[in-house]
Structure 1
Amino acid sequence: AFPYGVSITVPIMAGWHAVLGVIEGTITALTVAYLRKRVPHIIFAER
């Protein structure tokens, strides 16, 4: 049996997912910024 109810589990899970989303967004933004600087033709492909 799980010792905690949904009213405790869901807010904690949502909070962790929010924190991880911010971290993932930061990593993505840093990666895109790096690629724009080092290999711009990957980001700005000619059409």
Structure 2
Amino acid sequence: MDTLEAEIQGAIESAFTTLLDSIDSLVEEVVDTIVLQLQATM
């Protein structure tokens, strides 16, 4: 039972890390796009 719980915990942490990485890169792309748009309008 303990091994199963540890595996589930590990899987959740792994998925969470992947999700955070995805959000991080998405935010970077959005910020870059906004900055480029602002530079273009100035």
**TM-score category of the 2 structures, normalised to the smaller one:** 0.7 to 0.9
- Structure with greater contact order relative to length (CA < 8 Å, sep ≥ 6): 1
Q: What RMSD in Å do the two structures reach over aligned CA positions?
A: 1.7
Displacement of 1:19: 0.6
1:37 aligns to what? 36
Q: Which runs of 5+ in 1 are unaligned?
A: 41-47
The structure richer in helix per residue is: 2
Identical positions, percent = 5
Q: 4+ runs of 1 displaced by more than 6 Å?
A: none
Aligned pair count?
Answer: 37
